[in-house]
Structure 1
Amino acid sequence: MSNWVFMRQILLGLLLLSPVFVSADVRVPKLYEIEIRVADDSLDARKNAQKKGLMGIFVRVSGKVDIASNPKIIAAIKDYSVYIRQFRYIRKGAGDKSSVLLWVSVNQDQVNKVLRNAGLPVWGERRPNTVVWVAIDDGNRRYILSGDDRSEAKPVMVFNAKRRGTPLLFPLLDHEDQSKVRFSDIWGGFLTPIKKASKRYQTEGILVARVSRRGNGWYARWTILIKGNTYRWTSSGRHRALVLSIGIDGAADKIAEHYVTDTRYAAKPKKAVEQPQATQSQQSNSDSGKVVAVRPKVKNKRNDYVDNFDESDESDEYDQGYVSRKNRKKRKKRKWQSQGQQGQQDRVDQGSQVSSDQFISTNPPARRMGSGLYISVKNLKGIRDYVLIVRYITRLSSVRSAKILKLEANLAVIEVIPKNSASSVKRAISIGSTLVPVKLEINLSAGSSSSSPNQREFANLAHYRYTK
């Protein structure tokens, strides 16, 4: 025997004897992104998919599936467009096997806030790892799913685990695994050898499944071991994908039940920004019964914006509500030019509070014509509606800031500064049902000072009706 063959055998033996270093918990990225299958790219299909996607993210982050009846969740799903940051279509496959998916990204802070207000837990990105031992008898062969398995069962389990935000680890099924666990051990539910084989993977949980054909359908028996507890359940159905999906949901529910409230895995809320002391005049205004509104937070204090965007050159990617970072960098940016001290005071700052009448500006800072969007909203009844509509618009992902410029009876004219373009704001509004477009004629110059925006400055004006 040559020295090389001898050394190779020694190295192989050391490799087989060495442990597999796997963390008991792993980071699950993209918790606030989801893909939903859609029939086509129509508006109705997109709205339904976005609602379904938002609900899926609520379930994934909270770890609970029985939240559909929670009043806070119901209200959030009804006003789903507020939480959507980006979306785009993904086409997979070709021919008869092609499918269309809608990728949706939501606002993490707003989703977490809804869950906390609803009294639900917020599960962070660090989640417990679970090793999976699955024995399958499909009528033709018997086998155990491994990390490099190419059967149709594994992708189904991985997809549903990702949908629930539950990490799964499939065994290597190398010489060491096969010497400790046999197909009959998993099939018969003998947990002692499975526990011994699972020690090398150092995971928090162990999931065991037996999947087989039964008549014209499929049947599966599931067992999960978590923190010294053992849980068992079954799933059955006509299609194997459905049976596996139900089984993964059962495992995710049990894992969440034990770990979602664990301080090691809970998402840490952001520290609240200390509010400045209210001045004497602000206290007197508050005491007089005026509604107090919090100005929206703006991440970019420079108030940069894009003003040279040509709507005729919109790409398909932008039409679908998404502007890539690469495309944004290509577009020219320039600073907002505020004039004098008034312009500095008009900047939106974090955490400051203003009374409701301070949303109205009779002398806005000078701007280049056509850079913003003016929105007229009717059917507003009382100061509460005025404040709520401004908050709704400022929370849209495509809006940098918004402010009421003019009030007339039950109508308001709001100046909106978009992050990218006016058309992106209109698209974001059209996704939801809070504002419905209408035809409306108003006199914009009546009652305005000489320095107020004139008719030409309101050329980019959209009319809406507020629906409660």
Structure 2
Amino acid sequence: MLLLASFTASAQRVEGTRAAARGVYSAEVEVNTQNAAERDTGFARALAQVLAKLSGDANAASQPGMAQALRRAERYVEGFDYRQDEGVSASGAPSFDTMLVVRFDQDKVDSLAAAMGLAIWPQPRPKPVLWLAIDDGSGPRLVGLPKAAAANSTLERAKKRGYRLGLPNGSAAEQAVVGAIWRGDTAAVARASRRYSPPMQLIGKLYRNGGGWKADWVFVDNGKVLSRWSEEGSDARQVMATGADGAADALMKRYAKRSEAGPPGTYRVAFSGLDSADDYVRLSGYLQQLAVVRGITPLSATPQSVEFNLDLVSGLSGLARMVEGGDVLVASGSGDPVDSADMGVDGGVVDPLDSPLPLPGESAPTAYRLR
């Protein structure tokens, strides 16, 4: 019986991890119609959300090369559905919003992130406790589970950043922690949070500030203060949401790991197996659609092969990751780095179009064969 209980608990933990991963690789975006053009735009916005959750970086989709990947976001889609959300317009009449719910292929998205050198925040992710005290003019009060709606903007922003926040139960003893929150006593808050796991606390106080609101935040991980920041604005909900952003930034900085990718630059690559002009067009089109390729410069050509200088976002390793598992190219060899001494030019500047050898600092041609 004990063994069965242990197995069940283990299965629940595994399933919980899988469910969390599925949440990271799915997104919902509002669309105006269900036509193909609107859907493609929705796929791009959804993929941007997934990349932000995967890395914990709200600006992940803005990194070099990502714009090209977003334009072809449908390549990474595993499935999608539509949902109608009913609401009430400003005039009081019923309104209906169409939501595009997109599920992305985890392996394909992971491959894209690795090829682009994106930092990945691994699963399972911690669920810090949000200790938030609000003073609207009648004295500070703790936001506990019974009043969770008051912190909804913070909780929802955390989900968009790829993690979740918990709330204290809000017992009378925990209500007394408000004083420690207000004076910035992180040690006292950490002691009150010992019953919760993990030992991470997002501590915030929100209060009136002139005609608006201000929030002071501290993020603590196992007793260590990782970050302090303040935000202010006219909308209390927006100011509260910044707590989740700051915590995500601190967690990402500490726990996200960047994939091993090569340095950006220009690399010489050879391609064989071209039997016709159509093969050349197919190869060129394929390379132009790869997110890691920023530019292509022809160097030389024979009846069955070509050599290009490829301007790559994440080096040859990034190119290899994007090509691996595809049905267009297969690696057929690689060369070794060379320097100017190997070129016999005494360190002079050589036009790559005039020389069959790589420029200093480049890699020798990496060879691929067209399938």
**Which of 122, 125, 128 is matched with 1:127 structurally?**
125
Q: Hey, what does 1:316 align to over in structure 2? A: none
**Which of 33, 46, 49 is matched with 1:53 structurally?**
46
User: 1:254 & 1:165 partners in 2: Cα distance?
Assistant: 13
Q: Hey, what does 2:236 align to over in structure 1? A: 240
Deviations 1:3-33 (A, max 9, x none): xxxxxxxxxxxxxxxxxxxx9xx73341100
**Which of 153, 156, 179 is matched with 1:156 structurally?**
153
SS in structure 1 at match of 2:65 = helix
| 1:78 Cα deviation from its structure 2 partner | 2.1
Q: Hey, what does 2:343 align to over in structure 1? A: none
Residue 78 (str. 1) matches residue 71 (str. 2): yes
SS in structure 1 at match of 2:145 = coil
Deviations 1:32-58 (A, max 9, x none): 001123455565554433222211111
CA separation of 1:213 and 1:98: change in aligned 2, threshold 3 A:
farther
User: 1:37 & 1:56 partners in 2: Cα distance?
Assistant: 13
Residue 290 (str. 1) matches residue 273 (str. 2): yes
User: 1:98 & 1:33 partners in 2: Cα distance?
Assistant: 22
Residue 87 (str. 1) matches residue 87 (str. 2): no
SS in structure 1 at match of 2:169 = coil
- Taking the TM superposition and a 5 Å limit, the aligned residue runs for 1:42-441 are 45-96=38-89, 98-139=96-137, 142-151=140-149, 153-178=150-175, 181-227=176-222, 228-261=224-257, 289-291=272-274, 382-386=278-282
One-letter amino acid of the structure 2 residue matched with residue 233 of structure 1? W
SS in structure 2 at match of 1:105 = strand
| 1:247 Cα deviation from its structure 2 partner | 2.3
CA separation of 1:288 and 1:125: change in aligned 2, threshold 3 A:
closer
User: 2:142 & 2:212 partners in 1: Cα distance?
Assistant: 20
Unpaired runs of at least 5, structure 1: 1-22, 268-286, 292-355, 358-380, 394-468
CA separation of 1:62 and 1:385: change in aligned 2, threshold 3 A:
farther
Deviations 1:114-136 (A, max 9, x none): 11111122333311221110001
Q: Hey, what does 2:310 align to over in structure 1? A: none
| 1:158 Cα deviation from its structure 2 partner | 1.9
User: 1:242 & 1:41 partners in 2: Cα distance?
Assistant: 30
Unpaired runs of at least 5, structure 2: 1-12, 90-94, 260-269, 290-371
One-letter amino acid of the structure 2 residue matched with residue 187 of structure 1? W
User: 1:162 & 1:384 partners in 2: Cα distance?
Assistant: 45
One-letter amino acid of the structure 2 residue matched with residue 166 of structure 1? Y
Deviations 1:393-443 (A, max 9, x none): 9xxxxxxxxxxxxxxxxxxxxxxxxxxxxxxxxxxxxxxxxxxxxxxxxxx
User: 1:391 & 1:107 partners in 2: Cα distance?
Assistant: 22
Structure with bigger gyration radius = 1
| 1:162 Cα deviation from its structure 2 partner | 0.9
CA separation of 1:194 and 1:288: change in aligned 2, threshold 3 A:
closer
User: 2:227 & 2:203 partners in 1: Cα distance?
Assistant: 10
User: 2:153 & 2:232 partners in 1: Cα distance?
Assistant: 15
One-letter amino acid of the structure 2 residue matched with residue 245 of structure 1? A
The worse-fitting range, judged by mean Cα deviation, of 51-60 and 233-242 is: 233-242
User: 1:66 & 1:188 partners in 2: Cα distance?
Assistant: 33
One-letter amino acid of the structure 1 residue matched with residue 166 of structure 2? L
CA separation of 1:150 and 1:196: change in aligned 2, threshold 3 A:
closer
Deviations 1:146-180 (A, max 9, x none): 123253x32222211111112211111224534xx
| 1:196 Cα deviation from its structure 2 partner | 0.7
One-letter amino acid of the structure 2 residue matched with residue 290 of structure 1? G
Q: Hey, what does 1:407 align to over in structure 2? A: none
CA separation of 1:288 and 1:118: change in aligned 2, threshold 3 A:
closer
Overall identity of the aligned pairs, in %: 25
The structure that is strand-richer by fraction is 2
- Provide the TM-score with structure 1 as the length reference: 0.49
| 1:189 Cα deviation from its structure 2 partner | 1.5
| 1:207 Cα deviation from its structure 2 partner | 0.6
One-letter amino acid of the structure 1 residue matched with residue 198 of structure 2? T
SS in structure 1 at match of 2:195 = helix
CA separation of 1:39 and 1:204: change in aligned 2, threshold 3 A:
farther
| 1:386 Cα deviation from its structure 2 partner | 2.7
Q: 2:128·2:197 contact (CA, 8 Å) conserved in 1? A: no
| 1:226 Cα deviation from its structure 2 partner | 2.2
Q: 1:31·1:125 contact (CA, 8 Å) conserved in 2? A: no
Deviations 1:51-92 (A, max 9, x none): 222111111112223434433322211222212222222222
Q: 1:72·1:117 contact (CA, 8 Å) conserved in 2? A: no
Q: 1:137·1:213 contact (CA, 8 Å) conserved in 2? A: yes
| 1:391 Cα deviation from its structure 2 partner | 10
CA separation of 1:392 and 1:109: change in aligned 2, threshold 3 A:
farther
One-letter amino acid of the structure 2 residue matched with residue 79 of structure 1? R
User: 2:145 & 2:112 partners in 1: Cα distance?
Assistant: 37
Q: 1:35·1:53 contact (CA, 8 Å) conserved in 2? A: yes
| 1:208 Cα deviation from its structure 2 partner | 0.2
Q: Hey, what does 1:300 align to over in structure 2? A: none
- Provide the TM-score with structure 2 as the length reference: 0.60
One-letter amino acid of the structure 2 residue matched with residue 126 of structure 1? P
Q: 1:72·1:114 contact (CA, 8 Å) conserved in 2? A: no
CA separation of 1:182 and 1:176: change in aligned 2, threshold 3 A:
closer
User: 1:80 & 1:219 partners in 2: Cα distance?
Assistant: 38
Q: 2:29·2:42 contact (CA, 8 Å) conserved in 1? A: yes
